[in-house]
Amino acid sequence: MSTAPLLDIKDLHAGVEGKAILKGFNLTVQAGEVHAIMGPNGSGKSTLAQVLAGRDGYEVTGGQVLFNGVDLLEMSPEERAREGLFLAFQYPVEIPGVNSTYFLKAALNEIRKHRGESELDAMEFLSLVKEKMKILELREDLLKRSVNEGFSGGEKKRNEIFQMAVLEPRLAVLDETDSGLDIDALKAVSKGVNRLKAPDRSQIVITHYQRLLNYIVPDQVHVLLDGRLVRTGGKELALELEEKGYDWITQQEAVTA
Amino acid sequence: MSTLTSDTTTIEAPGTTAAALDGTDAIAMAFQGLELTGQPAWLQALRRHGLERFQELGFPTLHHEDWRFTNLEPVTRLPFRPAAEAGRAPLDLKAFPFAALPSARLVFVDGHHAPVLSNAGGELEGATVMPLAEALDHPRLGALAAQHVGRLAGQDDNPFGALNNAFFTDGLFVHVPAGISVPQPVHLLHITTTPGAAVHPRLLVVAEANSRLTLLETHVSTTGETFLNNSASEVFVGENATVEHCKFQDDSMAACHFGAIHSRLDRASHYRFHSISAGAALSRNQIRTLLDGEGVACILNGLYLTRDRQLADHHMVVNHAKPRCESHEYFNGILADQSRGVFHGRILVQQAAQKTDAKQTNKNLLLSDDATANTKPQLEIYADDVKCTHGATIGQLNDESIFYLRARGISQDTARRMLIHAFAGEIIERVECDAIREELDQLVWDRLEEHEAVSVRQNARA
């Protein structure tokens, strides 16, 4: 029982508008592990993230996803979040008129209620938020603004990780969080992610490039190609990919096929 | 009681023999019944001219370009019975919005001044706040009031402004001399209590150079029956003066509300107007703003909340007559049930108005498949060095935004509510006066929460 994985994806098939994208995807993530999923454009990386978070419009046509032993695919997006799943969006949405603090407090209290914990009042929430903002080196005035509105690309990504730091999910899925980040933002984001590492928390880092993995060190690296994982290895696999490019794997696949 | 219906609105007419009359005849008869003797000659002339102008223009029909979405047919059958005096039922001020707001307040009941409910009337920190009827008789201010009343309202092609000129009984007069800042908001509270009445409240504001004023206009009613509230306001903003003007309209759901909202803005002045339209079966705010000096900054900001078969119409002309002025117009509508929102905004940039910076947006959120929004943003530009943009949207809530909120653990209902409130909040947050903004925010929040389309679980929570 103690070895039951936090996330267990078996033979997952999914797509959009009748187009198959994930074609038999398998992945097991144990508590405390960091997994990197790398792959070229169109390999299904973002579809995986969206299917896990429960976005409408993505159809699951086969397979199973167990989160902490429970069928994830049966849950609404908000239930998944309350159960401890967090998606750091590749393109965080701007929501004019919804205050960042108000939004995040509402989210945290929903999750706390679900866990049977007491809701935080304004003062408690504020002190928590201030502590987390320091880690992400976020300007405090961003919290007074509407959610993501007028944020720079880097600020949006930092804000995702900041939300993750506040919500403390059991499983965080980072969907190309490194894209469009300069080196300072990349370091700040990585620092935030690494701070959250704990024996009972896991992370799936989805990325196109190896660069992020200099800062967030994965336990396992997987290569996603045409909807399936075709390689799994240690962090050295990422370096090898960086050096040889995705063509190297594509060609090998063609040879074995 | 008879029910008058048009394709857009249902207006209940209280039992009356006058219903058989055509509105124009009813108006002419009502005018004959007015006691004009004793009024100054110029005022009698203004009234007569108002009536003639109204008769000349008549009730606009759907064929009139400026009225093509707002069917006035039910209005033409109203009795147009002037309220000769204020309703006598005792009123509890606490029941009305903004009653607790620290302000200089003048209350009018059925168009007549109610001194018992008012807390102002006279000098106020160097300014004057008094009933208009009193101001017109005032030895020192009478000439000033006479010089401004009817200068803007009723002089254009809006028949209802002309009608107000003919019939207005009283209203709020504010004079802010040069350099004076009025420290607290001045509040005109108009309460209609008499079913079937036609009331014509008036607002006249003269804010001289370098003065500052915050103005609040609230229209409410204690009767749930049909009546006509035909208000007119004229706001003169002097050089380098700053005026914030907020109008909150929450008349009975059976009422017809017209507002002729005029302003003339002098050089380097700042004018910020907010129209929050929540009540009335049919409402039409006709906003005419003249940017009449260089370097004016003007914001026209509006929110309409409609449900049932309500119709809320905002019709606006922003007239840029001088160079280097800025005007920004933001109007959001939240439309539920079978209601309709109408927006018509025209930015007119005259040839002399080089370096104009004008921006206009109208956004409509439809909460039901049966709600309708008609929007017509328009630019009419005769100058060649200007920056003008306009845009309009009609739609439902953004799915991306809802998913983002849900992915953080917020339920779908709560996410929808957050976004609906945010849509209103975009407008409300432009109100600069903290006390007015906060109460307005609460009023709008409560109004939205009352509606099942916003708060699907309201009954479960209660």
Q: For B4-59, write each residue's pLDDT tens digit.
A: 334 445 565 444 443 445 788 999 999 999 988 889 999 999 999 999 999 999 99
Q: Which residues of B touch A107 (CB under 8 A)?
A: 405, 408-410
Question: And the tokens for B243?
Answer: 């005026």
Q: What was the pLDDT predicted at B10?
A: 52
Q: Which residues of A touch B403 (CB under 8 A)?
A: 55-56, 77, 93
Q: What is the enclosing helix (H) or strand (E) of B249?
A: strand B242-250
Mean pLDDT on B331-350: 97
Structural domains in chain A, CATH included, are 7-256 (3.40.50.300)
Report whether A9 contacts A53 (CB < 8 A).
no
Q: Under an 8 A CB cutoff, do B407 and A93 touch?
A: no
Q: How many CB atoms neighbour CB B401 within 10 A? A: 20
- In chain B, the percentage of residues whose pLDDT exceeds 70 is 94
Q: What was the pLDDT predicted at A136?
A: 78
Per 3-state DSSP, chain B is made up of helix, strand and coil in percentages (nearest 5) of 25, 40, 40
Measure the CA–CA gap between B291 and A14, rounded to whole angstroms.
59
Report whether B238 contacts B120 (CB < 8 A).
no
Q: Which residues of A touch B429 (CB under 8 A)?
A: 97
Does position B414 have pLDDT exceeding 50, yes or no? Answer: yes
Write the ipTM: 0.95
Give, to the nearest 10 degrees, the angle between helix A100-114 and helix B412-428. Answer: 160
Chain A contact present for B38, CB below 8 A = no
The band of B221, judged by pLDDT with boundaries at 50, 70 and 90, is very high
For residue A50, the one-letter residue type is Q
- Output the CA–CA distances (angstroms, integers) from residue A182 to A174, A187, A188, A210, A235, in the order listed: 17, 9, 10, 15, 22
Q: Under an 8 A CB cutoff, do A93 and B401 touch?
A: yes
Measure the CA–CA gap between A180 and B274, rounded to whole angstroms.
40
- Output the CA–CA distances (angstroms, integers) from residue B142 to A120, B136, B165, in the order listed: 60, 4, 17
The band of B461, judged by pLDDT with boundaries at 50, 70 and 90, is very low
Question: CA-nearest residue of chain B to A81?
Answer: B409
Measure the CA–CA gap between A112 and A106, rounded to whole angstroms.
10
Q: What was the pLDDT predicted at A78?
A: 98
The full length of chain B comes to: 462
- In chain B, the percentage of residues whose pLDDT exceeds 90 is 84
Q: Is B23 or B318 the better-scoring residue by pLDDT?
A: B318
Q: What was the pLDDT predicted at B343?
A: 97
Does position B206 have pLDDT exceeding 80, yes or no? Answer: yes
The band of B460, judged by pLDDT with boundaries at 50, 70 and 90, is very low
Q: What was the pLDDT predicted at A211?
A: 87
Chain A contact present for B425, CB below 8 A = yes
| Below-50 pLDDT ranges, chain A | 1
Q: What was the pLDDT predicted at A63?
A: 97
Q: What was the pLDDT predicted at A196?
A: 86
Give, to the nearest 10 degrees, the angle between helix A235-244 and helix A246-256. Answer: 100
Q: Is B189 or B121 the better-scoring residue by pLDDT?
A: B189
Q: Under an 8 A CB cutoff, do B422 and A95 touch?
A: yes
CA distance A81 to chain B (A): 5
Question: And the tokens for B430?
Answer: 């432009």
Q: What was the pLDDT predicted at A254?
A: 72
Q: What was the pLDDT predicted at B22?
A: 79
Question: And the tokens for B316?
Answer: 């606006």
Out of B404, B409, B424, whose CB is closest to A110?
A: B409
Domain ranges of chain B: 2-292, 400-462
Mean pLDDT on B95-101: 95
Considering the entire predicted model, what is its pTM? 0.86
Measure the CA–CA gap between B378 and B344, rounded to whole angstroms.
8
Report whether A24 contacts A227 (CB < 8 A).
yes
Question: Per residue in B190-207, is it b (16+ CB within 10 Å) or e — as a string?
Answer: bbbbbbbbbbbbbbbbbb
